[in-house]
Amino acid sequence: MRLLYLGDIIGRAGRDLALKKIPEFRQSLKLDFVVVNGENAAAGFGITEKICDELLAGGVDVISTGNHVWDQNETKTHIASENRLIRPINYPLGTPGRGSVMVQDARGRNLLVINVMGQVFMNALDDPFAAVDAELKKYALGSTAKFILVDIHAEATSEKMAMGHFCDGRASLVVGTHSHVPTADAQILDGGTAYQTDAGMCGDYNSVIGMDKAEPLQRFTRKISSGRFMPALGAATICGVFVETDDETGLAKRIEPLRLGARLKEYMPVL
């Protein structure tokens, strides 16, 4: 099975390029699934119903989120009815939406996506390891789920790495999001799980993590705010992770980064 995971989509620049390229990627990489993190898709803060629907209609199978999931008020309603839009699984009981979803490809093969948020330097949620462990115990990798993806939305690289090893052999891919910077550690762990600490972002890298440079620089240098953070709207770069698995086991055979666009050195997997 072949899956492409795209890191945090930042505003219009990231959305437009992702929507343009996803159909091309699906064909050139012979993809079975595309999953994206959409928590910054609406002008850098949250995701709207319209944007969610555009991404799903544009070839995305599942949209994960993170700490910005509730930045748009309408998300609380839409996430309750659109199962393919998920939020971190370790939110307390009673929170709208769900933290995982199972979808099928055209051949009837199951993909399970689990979204979880870290605790280090983040909002205090329930134990991410216990939440992921409980969900993984419901499925058999290679059987009831042919591919299991865990998106850990976290600040600390150590927490992301720990989640990778915690899930090793039980998930097909553990990938980090939130820092918006692609890491150079794509690898297959000892138990067969593909891992990368952060997928990066889909947005304008001539920025401060996707935001127009002026306001972040103002706050760092003068310690005062002069306005809102606004997404940078220059030429975007797409960053993500391509994974190929063994259908019998659900474990990874291959993981490679994907980078395409204006600023970063490009890297495209080749079949």
- Tell me the backbone φ, ψ of residue 200, rounded to 5 degrees: 90, -160
Task: Give the sign of the dihedral formed by CA 133, CA 41, CA 239, CA 101.
Answer: positive
Distance in angstroms (rounded) separating the CA atoms of residues 4 and 171 = 15
Average pLDDT over residues 17-25: 97
pLDDT in tens, 55-94: 999 999 999 999 999 999 999 999 999 999 999 999 999 9
CB contact set of 24 (below 8 Å; sequence gap of 6+):
none
Q: What is the pTM of this model?
A: 0.96
Distance in angstroms (rounded) separating the CA atoms of residues 239 and 258 = 6
Contact yes or no for 112/149 (Cβ under 8 A) = yes
Active site residue 68: yes
Give the number of other Cβ atoms within 10 Å of residue 98's Cβ.
15
Distance in angstroms (rounded) separating the CA atoms of residues 211 and 60 = 24
Mean per-residue pLDDT over the chain, rounded: 96
pLDDT in tens, 99-132: 999 999 989 999 999 999 999 999 889 999 999 9
Distance in angstroms (rounded) separating the CA atoms of residues 232 and 12 = 9
Strand partners of residue 5: 35, 241
Length of the chain: 271
Indicate which residue of 68, 153, 178, 180 is catalytic: 68
Q: How confident is the model at residue 124, as a pLDDT?
A: 86
CB contact set of 185 (below 8 Å; sequence gap of 6+):
195, 196, 197
pLDDT in tens, 247-271: 999 999 999 999 999 999 999 999 9
Q: How confident is the model at residue 127, as a pLDDT?
A: 97
What Rg do the C-alpha atoms of the chain give, in angstroms? 17
Can you tell me which residue has the tokens 């204006």?
Answer: 262
Domains and CATH numbers, the chain: 2-261 (3.60.21.10)
- Specify the long-range contacts of residues 101-109, CB closer than 8 Å, at least 24 apart: 101/62, 102/145, 103/33, 103/61, 103/62, 105/1, 105/32, 105/33, 107/32, 109/1, 109/32, 109/146, 109/147, 109/247
